[in-house]
Amino acid sequence: MKNKLLYIITIVMTLFIGVSLTLVVLYYYPLHDKTVSKTISNVNITENNTIKQSIDKAYNAVVVVESTTNRGVGTGTGFYYKKDKKNGYLITNHHVINGATSIKIIDNDGQEYEAKLLGSDEVSDVAVLSVDAENVKQIVEIGDSTKLELGDTLFTIGSPLGSNYKGSVTKGILSGKDRTVEVELFSGNYVMEVLQTDAAINPGNSGGPLLNINGEVIGITSSKLADEKIEGMGFAIRIELAMSEVDRLEKGEEIERPLFGIEAIDVSNTYSLFYNRLSVDKNIKEGIVVARVVDNSAASSAGLEKGDVIYKIDDNKISDMAHFRFVLYKYSIGDEITVKYYRDGKSKEVKVKLTK
């Protein structure tokens, strides 16, 4: 009897505890749906090193320059630097339009129109074109390349490989400030002073702008060293050189440079020296050997002769003929220069007044 009573009490207690726990669970965790509130915040991410605003300042001022010659059709890039009520004016490279019978412009919207060549200069590799003013959507801002420092951010806008890739933007840094590269001209090789950048420059970019971080043009992309072992070496003409000529080129004037009045051979060109029956002291490693003096020229008036080895103009050492032209063309017609040369194993110098 006692055991039966204990059994009944255990069952009752178990039921009581079970019911109590169920009530507690239902009280704190009801069966109906519980409303969950969420707060959604919009987060704006700002890129600190974007150059978008700088690109926008020049993007629609850059166009494709398509030139037709008797060899076919070639493309390059140009940019508008000036506009008046009648015309818009753009700069490109001389080699982009050299020999062109017609020149067509294609803007970033795909609009096409004809351009007129106003003036061009092979030595500086600069050409100026004009179009109807209504076609010009934007003008670039001209900067100052002399204020650049190594490592400054630079970018290009252009049309590599033609109009299919018009408006392409590439970014890099200033890799070198005072580089010289040798280029081949119709009149002979010539050394150009250029800016160096690692921003990608490809065929079709020629004539386009090289811009600083503020979106100002500081150079004109002109050439690239092309070799399977070379990567990221592009070159641009300083904008100051181009702007010093545009007024005359707009008027169709020829850029006049001083005449020295010689034909010469590099000291290192032993074959040409032998062919022209010229000999040079083996201790002379740099300079140019006079092969002919033009009658009634500055050189003939100064008394220079065939066989003279010119090694210096003022304080500028002369390494070869390309470098000689580079130094000479820094002077103006009428300037007087001091030329140092070797004759019969002796160093001499003479004043030469440069003529037209």
- C-beta separation of 321 from 344 below 8 A: no
Known catalytic residue: 121? no
Look up the pTM and report it: 0.77
Which long-range contacts link 285-290 to residues 24+ away (Cβ below 8 Å)?
A: 286/311, 286/317, 286/318, 286/319, 286/320, 287/311, 287/318, 287/319, 287/320, 287/341, 287/342, 288/264, 288/318, 288/320, 288/321, 288/324, 289/264, 289/265, 290/262, 290/263, 290/264
Instruction: Show Cβ contacts of residue 247 under 8 Å, excluding neighbours closer than 6 positions.
Output: none
Stretch (H or E) spanning 342: strand 336-343
pLDDT value of residue 159: 93
- C-beta separation of 58 from 140 below 8 A: yes
pLDDT at 12 over 70: no
How many helices (H) and strands (E) the chain has is answered by 8, 19
Average pLDDT, the chain: 88
Out of 95, 159, 223, 319, the active site residue is: 95
- Identify which of 21-25, 136-140, 179-183 has the greatest average pLDDT: 136-140
| Residue 31: band (very low, low, confident or very high) from pLDDT cuts 50, 70, 90 | low
Query: How do residues 120-137 score in pLDDT, each as one tens digit?
Result: 999 899 999 999 999 999
The residues of the chain that CATH labels 2.40.10.10 are 57-135, 143-243
Known catalytic residue: 107? no
Q: Which two tokens stand for residue 174?
A: 């200033």
Give CA–CA dist 214/217, Å, rounded.
Answer: 9
Out of 54, 107, 121, 125, the active site residue is: 125
pLDDT value of residue 33: 52
pLDDT at 163 over 70: yes
Give CA–CA dist 233/222, Å, rounded.
Answer: 12
- The hierarchical CATH code for the domain 262-353 is 2.30.42.10
- C-beta separation of 131 from 113 below 8 A: yes
Of 246, 256, 262, 264, nearest in space to 334 by CA: 256
- Range with the poorest average pLDDT among 79-93, 132-146, 178-192, 340-354: 178-192
pLDDT value of residue 192: 82
Alpha carbons within 13 A on the beta-carbon side of 19:
6
Per-residue pLDDT averaged across 146-174, rounded? 94
Q: Which two tokens stand for residue 322?
A: 């390309």
- C-beta separation of 190 from 322 below 8 A: yes
| Residue 50: band (very low, low, confident or very high) from pLDDT cuts 50, 70, 90 | confident
Look up the CATH architecture of domain 57-135. Beta Barrel (2.40)
Per DSSP, what are the bridge partners of residue 74? 67
- Answer with the residue of higher pLDDT: 57 or 13: 57
- The hierarchical CATH code for the domain 143-243 is 2.40.10.10
Positive/negative CA dihedral, 280, 282, 283, 288:
positive
| Residue 15: band (very low, low, confident or very high) from pLDDT cuts 50, 70, 90 | low
Give the CA distances from residue 296 to residues 125, 216, 245, 304, 310, in Å, rounded to whole numbers and listed in that order: 30, 46, 29, 12, 19
Q: Which two tokens stand for residue 351?
A: 């004043």
- C-beta separation of 62 from 108 below 8 A: yes
Per-residue pLDDT averaged across 338-349, rounded? 95
Out of 206, 222, 223, 319, the active site residue is: 206
Residue 101 CA to its chain's centroid (Å): 26
| Residue 300: band (very low, low, confident or very high) from pLDDT cuts 50, 70, 90 | very high
- Answer with the residue of higher pLDDT: 41 or 165: 165
Known catalytic residue: 32? no
Which spans in 87-214 are helix H? Answer: 94-97
pLDDT value of residue 62: 98
The residues of the chain that CATH labels 2.30.42.10 are 262-353
* C-alpha gyration radius of the chain: 37
Query: How do residues 134-152 score in pLDDT, each as one tens digit?
Result: 999 999 999 999 999 999 9
pLDDT value of residue 202: 87
Residue 220 CA to its chain's centroid (Å): 5
